[in-house]
Copies of this chain bind each other. A is one copy, B any other.
Amino acid sequence: MNGGLVPTAMDYELDAEVTLSGVPATPGLVERLVPELAAEALRKTIGPRGEGRLAKLVSDGPVLRLVLESSGARPHQALLALVRRLGEELGRTAKVGVRSFRAPVYRIRFPMDPVPKGPLSLPIPHEFHMDGPVGVLELKDLPEEALRDNWADRTTQLLQEKAKRQAYEGKEQYWALLRPAVPREPSFRGDPTEEMLRRQWVRSGPTKGKWFLGPTAAHLLRTMNRIAVREVLTPLGFQEVVQPHHDSFEILQKTGHLEGLPGEFYYVTEPKTRDPAAWERFTDLVKITRKVPEEELAKLVSPPSAVSCYAQCPTIYWWLSGRTIATDSLPLRIYDRSAISNRYESGGRHGLERVDEFHRIEPVYVGTPDQLVALREKLLERYAHVFDDILELEWRTAWVTPFYMQQSGGVGVEDAQAQVKGTIDFEAWLPYRGDRATSEWLEFQNLSIVGEKYTKAFTIRAQKGELWSGCSGIGLERWLTAFLAQKGLDPDGWPAGFRRAAGDLPPELRFL
């Protein structure tokens, strides 16, 4: 349906070219058969939702040129059906098959809302312009794969998404205070990383944005880890898993991470071979020149095929993929704390707060919507216990929703607290950044319910009923930084609950 906008034109116009394996001996066979089969194909594929017609047919030796037009549904579906039937009929009656097909041009008219503010690019041959509120797209030279694989719909969706992004560019993420902070007098006002460096607790690592934690800092990070498990996860029945820390491209395509964040991954490449003979030239060059011969190395490794863990939940969903979870195992509550997260942070690095490598515990929960809402309440309660009673932090929570989610599903400012799907951020004041009212607080943890997005993407089913999922990111370096930024590095300034959890600090190593 073109919504009555342009009543003289169909929404879709597909110029197709079908190549046969030969010319049927019977003259006129093709001219008789194609209209008949096209009508059948259009009726079956377009019929229920719109109208369509074969607008043109020219045969030129073994090549058939035809135009399929339609409204309300896409004519490439009709073409696929037509080609299949044509192959069957010609094979049976004339010993001729369909060798290949392609579309020199595919014209699509579709309403755009919002209308784009500027030019939109596409990585495949095309022309595009707006006709009032209607986008007019001409895809050119589409191979068979593109028709079978429905590039048409993905392309129009992509244009729509880009127009939406243009509309929201520069707008901030939605943020609404949920639980206000209780002010606490900090016992320290310095930058904790600077102070840790001064005391040789940490050393800035050998590669970008990564840190080496000496015994004291490691002890404190491990204490945070233990607090999270003992005080939050174990009491709520979460079980630990140990997951691979390489995320496959396939998994990241299913979650949407690969298309969403490709510039933030550390990619992993494998050697093409383990054979020492193949590596001899590389090895010899390293030995003689004491430098790494980049070009030689590039020849010996495969293209990137995975990424170093970005978040743990994608691979946890993969683990459950294709499985049906028994009712008595719901809500499924698991967590991983072994995979190490890597993010290419580029310019944004600062101390241990914003790093390229960090240790996170990621609880993932899968259950009915009601189970997850109830579990979220319990998680919020346990987290509050940790931050109030053990770490004694000045912290707050906020409901955050990226702009694109604010649109879809009508997440409005007014009813944010009533929302079920979405993310809660936990933020801590960093006194060294300045006044609590005006400085930027540190997001040190989050908690989400994502609905059925991932259970659907990974085909995870419940024995019965709807199955939702969610996750929470416990950033241990961020817990540590938030704590040290407010309480300082001297145990005297630490709350009793944390001192108890930390136990004796390791003896300090002495370097001269």
Q: Interface on A for B, CB 8 Å cutoff?
A: 121-124, 149, 151, 154-155, 157-158, 203, 205-208, 210-215, 217-219, 221-222, 239-251, 253, 258-260, 262-271, 273-276, 278-290, 292, 294, 297-298, 300-301, 303-306, 308, 315, 318-319, 323-326, 328-329, 332, 334, 338-340, 342, 344-347, 357, 359, 463, 506-507, 509-512
Interface of A is mostly: mixed
Question: Complex formed: what's the CA distance from A262 to B272 in Å?
Answer: 11
Taking each of A121, A211, A289, A332, which has the highest tally of chain B beta carbons within 10 Å of its own beta carbon?
A289
B300 close to A262 (CB less than 8 A): yes
Q: Which residues of B contact A122 (CB under 8 A)?
A: 284, 288
Given A274-B263, A301-B304, also A242-B212 (CB < 8 A): yes
B215 close to A306 (CB less than 8 A): no
Q: Which residues of B contact A212 (CB under 8 A)?
A: 241-244, 315, 318-319
Contact of A211 among B240, B244, B300 (CB under 8 A): B244
CB distance from A242 to the nearest CB of B (A): 4
Taking each of A242, A250, A279, which has the highest tally of chain B beta carbons within 10 Å of its own beta carbon?
A242
CB distance from A302 to the nearest CB of B (A): 9
A244 close to B279 (CB less than 8 A): no
Within the oligomer, what is the number of copies of this chain? 2
Contact of A294 among B294, B303, B325 (CB under 8 A): B303
Question: Complex formed: what's the CA distance from A217 to B325 in Å?
Answer: 19
Q: Which residues of B contact A251 (CB under 8 A)?
A: 206
Given A203-B319, A214-B241, also A303-B308 (CB < 8 A): no
Q: Which residues of B contact A249 (CB under 8 A)?
A: 292
Taking each of A207, A290, A338, A507, which has the highest tally of chain B beta carbons within 10 Å of its own beta carbon?
A207
B340 close to A245 (CB less than 8 A): yes
Given A275-B263, A511-B324, also A298-B288 (CB < 8 A): no
Given A215-B334, A240-B218, also A511-B273 (CB < 8 A): no
3 closest A-B pairs by beta carbon, nearest first, are A326-B510, A210-B244, A215-B239
Nearest B residue (CB) for A512: B324
A158 close to B269 (CB less than 8 A): no
Q: Beyond the given A206-B315, A260-B283, A268-B308, could you list 19 further A-B residue pairs with CB under 8 A, ordered by the A residue number?
A: A122-B288, A123-B285, A123-B288, A206-B244, A206-B248, A215-B240, A218-B239, A218-B242, A219-B239, A262-B297, A263-B278, A267-B269, A267-B270, A268-B269, A270-B344, A274-B344, A324-B512, A326-B511, A339-B340
Q: Which residues of B contact A210 (CB under 8 A)?
A: 244, 246
Contact of A305 among B207, B213, B339, B345 (CB under 8 A): B207
Q: Which residues of B contact A221 (CB under 8 A)?
A: 242
B290 close to A253 (CB less than 8 A): yes
A511 close to B323 (CB less than 8 A): yes
Q: Which residues of B contact A155 (CB under 8 A)?
A: 288
A149 close to B359 (CB less than 8 A): no
Q: Which residues of B contact A151 (CB under 8 A)?
A: 288-289
A271 close to B281 (CB less than 8 A): no
Question: Complex formed: what's the CA distance from A319 to B511 in Å?
Answer: 12
CB distance from A88 to the nearest CB of B (A): 28
A298 close to B303 (CB less than 8 A): yes
Contact of A262 among B211, B271, B306, B347 (CB under 8 A): B271
Q: Which residues of B contact A124 (CB under 8 A)?
A: 288
Contact of A325 among B271, B318, B510 (CB under 8 A): B510
Contact of A283 among B203, B262, B323, B332 (CB under 8 A): B262
Q: Which residues of B contact A328 (CB under 8 A)?
A: 510
Contact of A121 among B207, B280, B339 (CB under 8 A): B280
Given A283-B259, A289-B151, A315-B212, also A207-B271 (CB < 8 A): no
Given A319-B212, A357-B245, A511-B326, also A149-B344 (CB < 8 A): no
CB distance from A148 to the nearest CB of B (A): 12
Question: Complex formed: what's the CA distance from A249 to B285 in Å?
Answer: 14
Contact of A273 among B207, B242, B245, B263 (CB under 8 A): B263
Q: Which residues of B contact A262 (CB under 8 A)?
A: 271, 279, 282-283, 286, 297, 300
